[in-house]
Structure 1
Amino acid sequence: MLSDYHVHSNFSFDSEESPDNIVSRAIELGMPCIAITDHQDFNWPVEGEFPYIDFDNYFSTLDELSSKYEDKIKIIKGIELGLVEDAKSQCQNLIKNNAFDFVIGSCHIVDNMDPYYSGFWKNRKDRDAFELYFKTLLNGIKSFDRFDTLGHMDYIVRYSPNKDTNYSVLDYRDIIDEILTLIISKNIKLEINTANLAKGFSFPNPHTDIIKRYKELGGEYVTVGSDAHTAENIGYGFDVAEEIIKNFNLNIFTIK
Structure 2
Amino acid sequence: MSRKLKRSILFWLVLGPFAVVALFPYAVMLSTALKPGDEIFVFPPTWLPSRLAFENFVEMWSATGFGTALLNSLLIATAGTVLSLLVAIPAAYALARLRWHGQGLYRQFLLVAQMLSPIVLVIGIFRLMAAMGLVDSQWALVLAYAAFNLAFATWMMSSYFRTIPKEIEEAAWIDGATRMQSLVRVFLPLALPALAVTGIFTFINCWNEFVLALTILRSNEKYPLTLQIFTLVGGAYKINWHHVMAATFAATVPVAVVFALLQRALVRGLSLGSVK
- TM (norm. structure 2) is 0.24
Q: Bigger relative contact order, structure 1 or 2, given CA contacts below 8 A and separation 6+? A: 2
- TM (norm. structure 1) is 0.25
Structure exhibiting the larger radius of gyration computed from Cα positions: 2
